[in-house]
Amino acid sequence: MPEDSSTARRAGHAVARYTICFLLAWLALEAATITFGLSDRGVLVRLAAGGALLPDEAAATAARDRALALLKLVFFTGAGIAWLLWVHRTYGNLAHVGSKRSRFTRRWAVSYWFIPLLNLVRAYQVMKDLWLRSDSLNDRDAYDRLPAPAYLNGWWGLSVTRALLGVLITLMARDARTQVDLINTTDLGMLVNAVGVIAGVLAIKVVREIDRRQQCFEVSPAQQLGAGSQRGARASAGLSDLQSARLRRPDAARAGLGHQEEAQLEPRRPDGHGMPPAPGPARG
């Protein structure tokens, strides 16, 4: 049984909420990583100045980093799965509004994210097409040359930057030998986390804005016009009934006046009652 627009819209909104929840959790972990990075940098500076580690400090730091890395992996994976489910759902919702067409199929809108190098271009094009068609209720076909909003471009640029910096910091941490190298690696790691926080905030905005626009899919412009015509017809019918009632009102008033005149012409007895009819001629 084909899915109607209302069901598809509600399903897309539910997936969007789950995606935002995962993104918020991952943002909190990124912020925590920055805080712990500042603490680690202080320890490294102390060691570079000739200080020593406190008892059990190294073991506690290692355990904390392992737990944080595990949580980030869990929520990053959850956010990625929720994101792809949301893209699959919302991109399919375009078939319920306007021209009912889209540049890509739902399957390829998700598959492009898994193809190396090609995903740097196609994944962005999927998101741009999704936003533009959702914003205009999918009322046309040529969207390729239309500009995307600044926050969508910013989100994509920062996401790619964070991914590239993540690879760089992994290489730097592997080759670090001195305290200075570790300090530099820590500084770059906090920069990567800061970029990730901004990209995450923009990702949440992308999800919210597209979801907000797709809530308008419930009532199309044609349906709004039809509803307006029905309201106009009902208003015209009500006005006609009112005019007919007003036209009938003088006739009723005249009829009432005639009854009053007849009552006034009827003779009255002193006690206020009508006089009895005159007796007829007596019969022998």
Has residue 171 got a pLDDT over 70? yes
Rounded to whole angstroms, the Cα distance separating 206 from 72 reads 21
Has residue 14 got a pLDDT over 90? yes
pLDDT digits (tens, 9 = 90+) for 70-120: 999 999 999 999 999 999 999 999 988 888 888 899 999 999 999 999 999
Of all residues in the chain, the percent with pLDDT exceeding 70 is: 75
| Report for 49-53, 170-174, 186-190, 228-232: range of highest mean pLDDT | 186-190
Which is it for the CA torsion 261, 262, 268, 274, positive or negative? Answer: negative
Q: What are phi and psi of 268, to 5 degrees?
A: -120, 145
Has residue 131 got a pLDDT over 50? yes
Cβ proximity of 15 and 85 under 8 Å: yes
Rounded to whole angstroms, the Cα distance separating 83 from 130 reads 13
Residues linked to residue 268 through DSSP beta bridges, in sequence order: 274
pLDDT digits (tens, 9 = 90+) for 219-261: 544 444 444 444 444 444 444 554 554 545 545 445 454 544 4
What's the pTM value of the predicted model, to 2 decimals?
Answer: 0.73
Which is it for the CA torsion 188, 189, 193, 199, positive or negative? Answer: positive
| Angle at 22 (CA atoms; ends 201, 162), nearest 5 degrees | 50
Arithmetic mean of pLDDT, 147-173: 93
**One-letter amino acid of 76:** F
Structural domain spans, the chain = 5-220
39: DSSP letter: H
Q: Which three-class secondary structure state does DSSP give residue 268?
A: strand
Tell me how crowded residue 37 is: count the other CB atoms within 10 A of its CB. Answer: 20
Least confident interval from 24-28, 43-47, 129-133, 239-243: 239-243
The pLDDT assigned to 278 comes to 46
Residue 280: band (very low, low, confident or very high) from pLDDT cuts 50, 70, 90? very low
The pLDDT assigned to 226 comes to 46
Token digits of residue 116: 């190396």
Which is it for the CA torsion 203, 29, 86, 204, positive or negative? Answer: negative
Token match 């905005």: residue? 205
Residue 2: band (very low, low, confident or very high) from pLDDT cuts 50, 70, 90? low
The pLDDT assigned to 261 comes to 46
Has residue 211 got a pLDDT over 90? yes
Arithmetic mean of pLDDT, 24-33: 96
Has residue 156 got a pLDDT over 90? yes
Token digits of residue 223: 């349906």
Rounded to whole angstroms, the Cα distance separating 252 from 246 reads 10
Measure the CA dihedral 29/34/39/42, to 10°.
Answer: 160
**One-letter amino acid of 145:** R
- 249 or 25, which is more confident? 25
- Nearest CA among 168, 161, 173 for reference residue 197: 161
Tell me how crowded residue 258 is: count the other CB atoms within 10 A of its CB. Answer: 10
The pLDDT assigned to 126 comes to 95
Residues linked to residue 274 through DSSP beta bridges, in sequence order: 268
Rounded to whole angstroms, the Cα distance separating 227 from 233 reads 10
The rounded mean pLDDT for the chain is: 81
The pLDDT assigned to 243 comes to 52
Rounded to whole angstroms, the Cα distance separating 200 from 159 reads 8
Cβ proximity of 60 and 18 under 8 Å: no
